[in-house]
Amino acid sequence: MDIRLGNGFDVHAFGPGDHVTLCGVNIPHSHGLVGYSDADVGMHAVTDAIYGALAQGDIGQHFPPSDPQWKGAESHIFLTHAVNLARDMGFEISNIDCTLICEFPKIGPHSDRMRSVMADVMALEEARVSVKATTSERLGFTGRGEGIACIATAALVRP
């Protein structure tokens, strides 16, 4: 059995807007997130975790920000690509663990919906997808409310 682990990390700064998109869920907020696509740090980190487990580079290699077709793209496109690549290479996703790092907005009220959306995009049981949050105790850029970060781990298995 071939078992692979990968991790992903992403960061986006706050900017103009009235909501943030995290793990595919739009959450009303006083700011948006700035990015070339929809700036969904959750989906970006999970996408990179899958690419990492496969040793297939990162999201920027598969979807270069220099390519105008990805401007404003919804991040489920990137995640679906990573999931399909894993399956094409003979792997199944065992589980995903995604941790959002921010002082606000509060993630708890939205985490069940985030798990559901992420599981749907990846065609996984919800029990195999974890979405949780922590603060940085008001330290660093997330603590100052300048943006949101995310770290994710993917476990892939090939029988």
pLDDT at 5: 98
Domain topology for 2-158? 60s Ribosomal Protein L30; Chain: A; (3.30.1330)
Percent helix, strand, coil in the chain (nearest 5)? 35, 35, 30
End-to-end CA distance of the chain: 5
Locus of tokens 């869920």: 25
pLDDT along the chain (159 residues), means of 10: 97 97 97 95 98 97 92 95 98 98 96 98 98 95 96 97
Q: Decide: 131 and 24 in contact? Cβ < 8 Å.
A: no
pLDDT at 159: 87
Tell whether the torsion through CA atoms of 56, 53, 148 and 74 is positive or negative: positive
